[in-house]
């Protein structure tokens, strides 16, 4: 249904210089009938409110349209996000998960693998949400069944979180013909990580915009519509931080932890932990009076300790955690 259908219905509503409650209902029905409620459609209805505010039959009619506009999700259909500048001539675009599906055996924190892009903050947040609140991911991605996906994020506007949906296709940057260059899952036939990362990049202005560091809290916020919390490990007593981590895990809140920078003076030699890197916090435990924090490297490998698995999952004594990590992000 073309945008002009909304314009036609607006014109009809104004034939008697009056916009009735029935007119408003039909305008909303026309808007909802669209396969995607675009920003252009929303702009037309918003213009009606502004230009003809005095023509509404009553306050209820005007309020109904205002309420619809404040809650309706718009779908933004943008061009594929540009790749990192350094990869502009070295990658191709191919469909993700060819012959597979959005999810394989559900959503797991261990699905997530960071690619050749500096967005550990983002993929560690994806991994934490997969563990603590997988419905936030399921509710964000809609498979349209035609090789495209509608991905819903939340953006803060005027003190409120409003949904915005980005439409993406299944083509992703690859190298060597089929290997995803950026975020991926352990199972190459599973698509959710790559689709979610691509949509976020598309929304924010390209892979370059999301691929040079960032804050995991903003990712939690975008997928849950709830404000995140940031806590410094440097200025928080160890027992207090441990209690907060334990309580947040029990409350199913996603958590990431970030390490110090390379010039911070913290020595990471031989620790199996890396500077300027974000990790997923999986849980806490206490064994024989010693407190531990369990973490996951979003690379899906390379870890502290030596359990022989090299899957990126490890536990660390709380005292060591306090030395090697400088902050935590907790989602709502």
What's the pLDDT at 132? 98
**Per residue in 152-166, pLDDT tens?**
999 998 888 999 999
* Averages of pLDDT over each 10 residues, the chain, 332 residues: 62 81 83 64 76 84 81 65 92 74 94 97 98 97 90 90 91 83 93 96 94 96 97 95 98 98 94 97 97 98 91 97 98 94
Which residues have a Cβ under 8 Å from the Cβ of 58 and sit 6 or more positions away?
21
Residue holding tokens 């210089």? 17
Q: What is the pLDDT of residue 176?
A: 75
SS (H, E, C) the chain: CCCHHHHHHHHHHCCCCCECHHHHHHHHHHHHHCCCCCHHHHHHHHHHHHHCHHHECCHHHHHHHHHHHHHCCEEEECCCCCCCHHHCCCCEEEECCCCCECCCCCCCHHHEECCCCECHHHHHHHHHHHHHCHHHHHCCEEECCCCEEEEEEEEEECCEEEEEEEEEECEEEEECCCEECCCEECCCCECHHHHHHHHHHHHHCCHHHHCECCCHHHHHHHHHCCCCEEEECCCCCHHHHHHHHHHHHHCCCCEEEEECCCCCCCCCCCCCCCCCCEEEEEEEEEECCEEEEEEECCCCCCCCCCCCCCCCEEEEEHHHHHHHEEEEEECC
- The CATH class, in words, for 229-330 is alpha beta
For the chain, what is the mean pLDDT?
Answer: 89
Report the predicted TM-score, pTM, of the whole model to 2 decimal places: 0.78
pLDDT at 2: 43
Question: 29-83: per-residue pLDDT in tens?
Answer: 877 766 556 666 777 777 777 878 888 888 888 888 888 777 666 665 567 899 9
Chain-centroid distance of CA 149 in Å reads: 14
Can you give the pLDDT at residue 254?
A: 98
Can you state the angle between helices 192-204 and 120-132, rounded to 10 degrees? Answer: 130
Tokens (6 digits) for 162: 């409003």
pLDDT at 37 (0 to 100): 61
| CATH code 3.90.70.10 region(s) in the chain | 229-330
- pLDDT of amino acid 315: 97
d(CA 320, CA 279): 15
């Amino acid at each position: 249904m073309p945008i002009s259908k909304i314009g036609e219905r607006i014109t009809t509503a104004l034939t008697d210089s009056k916009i009735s409650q029935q007119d408003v209902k039909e305008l909303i029905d026309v808007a909802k009938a669209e396969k995607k409620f675009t920003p252009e459609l929303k702009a037309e209805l918003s213009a009606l409110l502004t230009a003809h505010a005095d023509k509404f039959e009553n306050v209820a009619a005007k309020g109904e349209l205002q309420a619809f506009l404040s809650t309706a999700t718009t779908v933004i259909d943008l061009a594929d996000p540009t790749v990192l500048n350094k990869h502009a001539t070295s990658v191709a675009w191919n469909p993700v998960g060819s012959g597979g599906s959005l999810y394989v055996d559900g959503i797991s924190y261990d699905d997530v693998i960071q690619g050749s892009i500096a967005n550990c903050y983002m993929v560690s947040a994806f991994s934490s949400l997969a563990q603590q609140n997988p419905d936030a991911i399921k509710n964000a991605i809609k498979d349209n069944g035609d090789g495209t996906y509608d991905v819903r994020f939340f953006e803060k506007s005027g003190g409120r979180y409003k949904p915005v949906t980005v439409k993406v296709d299944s083509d992703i940057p690859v190298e060597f013909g089929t290997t995803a260059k950026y975020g991926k899952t352990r199972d190459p036939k599973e698509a959710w990580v790559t689709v979610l990362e691509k949509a976020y990049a598309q929304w924010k202005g390209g892979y370059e915009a999301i691929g040079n560091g960032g804050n995991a809290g903003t990712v939690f916020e975008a997928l849950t519509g709830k404000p995140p919390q940031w806590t410094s490990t440097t200025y928080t007593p160890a027992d207090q931080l441990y209690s907060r981590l334990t309580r947040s895990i029990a409350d199913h809140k996603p958590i990431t932890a970030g390490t110090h920078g390379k010039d911070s003076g913290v020595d990471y030699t031989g620790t199996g932990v890396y500077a300027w890197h974000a990790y997923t916090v999986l849980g806490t435990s206490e064994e024989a009076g010693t407190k531990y924090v369990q973490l996951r490297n979003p690379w899906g490998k390379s870890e502290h300790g030596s359990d022989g698995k090299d899957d990126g999952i490890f536990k660390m004594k709380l005292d060591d955690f306090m030395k090697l990590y400088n902050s935590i992000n907790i989602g709502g």
